[in-house]
Structure 1
Amino acid sequence: MRHFFVGLLVTIATSGAVPTIADDTLLSALVTKVSIQDPIAARLSAPMTAIVDGLPLRAAIDRLTGPAQVNVCLSRDVDPTTPIQLGPVGPTSFAAIRQVAQSVGCEVDFVAGVVVIGKATWIDGVASRLSALPTASPNAGRNKKTDFRDIGWDRLATPTEAIALASGETSTNELIHDLWPETRWIRIDRSVAVTLVRSQIEPPPPAASLTRSYQSSAPGELRASVESVDSRAKARMVDGNLVVQASPAAHRAAVFQLLGQPPAGRESNDAPYSLKSTTSARNALTQLSQAAGRTCVIEPSAADACEAIISIEEKDVTLKVLIERVAILAGVTIQWNDKTVVVTREGN
């Protein structure tokens, strides 16, 4: 049985004791807050639909995270060359990234300003390790020291080189022999970068419970998403933030609840849309129309033209503009209606 009072969610334990969030964890949670007011989080939750079919996993992720200008960490245990075939993904950048990740058996979290992608156990361990950083400790409080840097390395760098570039310190200890892909992180806290690199070398175990905070216009819905995953989760409103103590999986659900749907009043059809594909005009028009919430109706006069193979690469355009450009490549015309996109060809 659960009871709510003064913004506090408690779970009645079998012993009769009432577990609450310890006060000494609250500052830590506020330091690691996920807020829709954060510029990166706002970009991740912006309306966006894309098609990344045919792209390898890493290229698909790069295409989806590019508009959001967000730092990404992809687990080394995941094959980055796996081709993606999903059709339209969205309706936000974060939702699209999550759909692509889940199609290859991975999960996604957004923690410490980084989109972390990998097997569930690995990213939950990374989240646990990031939450334990000195800069996220209660003693650091709101005046925590950070060291933001642009950090990266070129393709074929070794783990030893990567850890040196992340930490800013040289080491004579050679790590495992491996060659890493090119990586570029923009304005990332150095301690976060070091943690991400070390987590690639020594996968961290996930904690049973983490405390993080969220700023949301719908804290009740966010709390419900947490409870649906972790029935023993606890939450408390602190200065307008929902502080949640729950399993790492429950926090992933909270992040998706916050970033997986565009804010009310923002139409996905007007959102920036990206597409890089070589396919038939029929396939492109059908999938793009579906993404726009409409049925593609190809008239007999345009049937042959729509079988043509087209190559298109567009970035940050609306769905309507993208459909029109596909039509031009195929030599057909379109009529944009409330529920349909009608494709015709004059002169036939």
Structure 2
Amino acid sequence: MKTFAILTTLLLWGISQPQQTTLGQQPPTSSDSVSLANPFYAKLSAGSRAIVDGKPFRIALTDLADRVEIPVILDRRVDPSSIVNVGSIGPTVFAGIQRVAQAQDCVVMPIAGVIIVGRPAWIDATSEAILSVASASESAESSRIDVQWSEATTPTEALRLIARASGKAEPADELPHDLWAAADWKSIAPNVAKTLVVSQFDSPAAAANSPPSEKRFALRYRLDANRTPVIAAIRSIDRQSNVRRAGQEIRAMETEVTATAAAHRAGIEAFLISQSAKQAANVDLDNANLTLKLQYTPASQVFTKLAGAAGRACQIEASAEAACGKLITMSMEQASLRQLVAEVALQAGVHVRWSDAVLVVSAP
């Protein structure tokens, strides 16, 4: 099995989770809104180009999210061992995670400081449950905790660890037996952590057959120039959503949107995609922040993936096709895209030329 791994050095922001609110709750501050002022969404918008082909689904997701220290929670009814083969991904952390998830027919929801990945119906039901419990006002439950567990921990043990970390009595009920991957959740609300555990055991048949929920929640967005596509995405899912601009209770430059969990998922996705578009327009070929390790991989595949990471097409001329069948083995750290391509070209014995839209590979 061939494994590619190209990971950018990312700007790590201080850990902070947004606290979403339900309808009628006191609106949050701008640092808790869907905006780049919120470190959670800033992390997800950080530039990142990667190739994670050959890795199992869960590991690929975790590798991407770990770069910005955000936990990933995967729907337990999705196969975590499916091998990823999506080519170059990016240009942001969120865009990379979303692309990997889409290849497994999954969707992504960044919420309450974590990323949940899974079947659409499960994601929306779990998001609704999280938004409901996250609305609890100042109480002992709102005190954030750190909780960890090791590989092969059972769901019941995980629930008890959450209770201990929050100073609560351990639950007597037993969840269905399962063995879970290791987890390390930082600064998470106890009620959100508990919800993430128990939501894994909702009836899949019930979730699939239930009509979309009409329960709505108020979240705040700082949209600036992105307002139109974000609001359009929300209203495409929830035509009854309510949008209001700055007022006595709303911070300037922010928009409060009351909509279903599914509609907020669409809105948050549209917001983060807009950040991806900005990153894609600004790829520096000479930024030496990449690591590439590969073995016995055809040069043609490597050129194609590196060109994709640069937001360009790859054109291999007929004169270079035979040479690009050469198997490449290399390990480089703190290298730029230009340097990586040059090394592959050297090993394959070909000439490369960059343009604004294409990487051209030809005979020397």
Normalising by structure 1, we get a TM-score of 0.79
Q: How do 1:223-302 residues align onto structure 2 when only pairs under 5 Å count?
A: 223-237=231-245, 238-239=250-251, 240-262=253-275, 266=279, 267-270=281-284, 279-299=297-317, 302=320
1:130-151 alpha-carbon deviations (Å, 9 max, x no partner): 1111x524x54xx997333332
Q: Distance in 2 between matches of 1:339 and 1:311?
A: 27
Q: Distance in 2 between matches of 1:136 and 1:55?
A: 37
CA contact (8 A) 1:155 1:182 kept: yes
CA contact (8 A) 1:269 1:319 kept: no
- For 1:182, give the aligned amino acid: A
CA contact (8 A) 2:129 2:195 kept: yes
1:62-103 alpha-carbon deviations (Å, 9 max, x no partner): 222122221211111110011222222233221221222122
3-state SS in 1 of match to 2:24: helix
Q: Given the alignment of the two structures, is residue 326 of structure 1 paired with residue 341 of structure 2, yes or no?
A: no
* Structure 2 alignment gaps of length 5 or more: 1-21
1:341 CA displacement = 2.1
Q: Distance in 1 between matches of 2:154 and 2:344?
A: 43
Q: Distance in 2 between matches of 1:42 and 1:31?
A: 10
> How has the CA–CA distance of structure 1 residues 177 and 34 changed in structure 2, closer, same or farther, with 3 Å as cutoff?
same
1:180 CA displacement = 0.9
CA contact (8 A) 1:95 1:256 kept: no
- For 1:120, give the aligned amino acid: P
Find the counterpart in structure 2 of residue 147 from structure 1: 143
- For 2:255, give the aligned amino acid: L
3-state SS in 1 of match to 2:274: coil
- For 1:216, give the aligned amino acid: L
Find the counterpart in structure 2 of residue 182 from structure 1: 182
Find the counterpart in structure 1 of residue 52 from structure 2: 52
Indicate the larger mover: 197-206 or 83-92.
Answer: 197-206
> How has the CA–CA distance of structure 1 residues 23 and 120 changed in structure 2, closer, same or farther, with 3 Å as cutoff?
closer
Higher strand residue share: 1
Find the counterpart in structure 1 of residue 5 from structure 2: none
3-state SS in 2 of match to 1:260: helix
- For 1:215, give the aligned amino acid: R
3-state SS in 2 of match to 1:253: helix
Q: Given the alignment of the two structures, is residue 339 of structure 1 paired with residue 357 of structure 2, yes or no?
A: yes
1:157 CA displacement = 0.8
Q: Distance in 2 between matches of 1:159 and 1:268?
A: 44
**Identity within the alignment, %:** 34
Indicate the larger mover: 43-52 or 198-207.
Answer: 198-207
1:171 CA displacement = 4.2
1:233 CA displacement = 1.6
> Which of 223, 227, 234 is the equivalent residue of 1:216?
223
Indicate the larger mover: 84-93 or 30-39.
Answer: 30-39
- For 2:223, give the aligned amino acid: S
Find the counterpart in structure 1 of residue 194 from structure 2: 194
1:181 CA displacement = 1.2
1:297 CA displacement = 3.5
3-state SS in 1 of match to 2:230: helix
What is the RMSD computed on CA atoms of the aligned residues? 3.2
1:179 CA displacement = 0.8
Count residues in correspondence: 321
1:236-264 alpha-carbon deviations (Å, 9 max, x no partner): 12213222122222111111111123277
Q: Distance in 2 between matches of 1:46 and 1:221?
A: 20
CA contact (8 A) 1:58 1:81 kept: yes
1:328 CA displacement = 4.6
* Structure 1 alignment gaps of length 5 or more: 1-21
Normalising by structure 2, we get a TM-score of 0.76
- For 2:96, give the aligned amino acid: A
1:264-303 alpha-carbon deviations (Å, 9 max, x no partner): 7644423866766553110120232134233434356643
1:186 CA displacement = 2.4
